[in-house]
Amino acid sequence: MKKGIIVASFGTTYEDTRKLCIESIEDIIREKYRDYLVLRAFTSQMVINILKKRDNIHVFNLEEAIRDMENQGIEDIYIQPLHIIPGHEYEKLTKYNLKVGLPLLSLEEDYMKIVENIGISELGNNEALVFMGHGSDHEADESYEILENLYHKKGFTNVFIGTVEGSKTIEDIIKELKEKNIKKVKLKPFMLVAGDHAVNDMASEDDDSWKSILEREGFQVEVCLKGLGEYKITQEIFLEHFEKIIGEK
């Protein structure tokens, strides 16, 4: 075995969603590329440290995963990220002289596949679907706006995408919901995993969660804790991105 694949994500401290959204994709890659060594890496050292201290689970950071492969005699190393946008976390992967696949929202066809497969058949009259993305101060934050605009262009005008740390906030979305006379909001994470942000910032009973904010504004709220990694279409997009880089070498 002289080839290796590192499946790299930000990571999560939540075991259930880690299995559903990260391990599921790793298993697909491992099954298809049986002659390759497949390793997991997280780009968040904070998540790695918490897992080590709390659960005695050791997850490689990227440098450790590369070193481990080199120590095992792996000569060809590929990296497939499970990041959503080509932002800061993705850029951590590109400083190495290795083949790196694209994140989820990269190509026009990726956006279209998401629009056609996630969330479009779920809404009734006076209902809206609101996604919570992570967001970033990176210019790639515009990816969320591009995706929302595509939903609207395709006729799904009651789909909105806000962010925790990006330019479009829940307050911005509330203004649009009221303009459309929306009564019920379905909340979903637009993140790889339904982890800390989804559980606490989106769905909890805390005063500053999106659920609580929307309810105070008079909306009926339904929450769905399903990370993007659970969707078949998302898994397929990541696999297609990896197939493109492995075919180039």
- Catalytic residue ranges: 134
Strands (DSSP E) along 146-219, which ranges?
Answer: 159-163, 184-190
Task: Give the C-alpha distances (Å, rounded to integers) separating 48 from 45, 117, 235.
Answer: 5, 32, 23
Strands (DSSP E) along the chain, which ranges?
Answer: 3-9, 37-42, 76-81, 99-100, 127-133, 159-163, 184-190, 220-223
Residue 200: φ, ψ to 5° = -95, -55
Task: Give the C-alpha distances (Å, rounded to integers) separating 180 from 1, 126, 177, 192, 195.
Answer: 58, 8, 5, 29, 30
Distance between CA atoms of 122 and 158, rounded to whole angstroms? 11
Tokens found for residue 208: 């500053």
Distance between CA atoms of 99 and 232, rounded to whole angstroms? 24
Tokens found for residue 51: 């897992």
* The residue type at 180: K
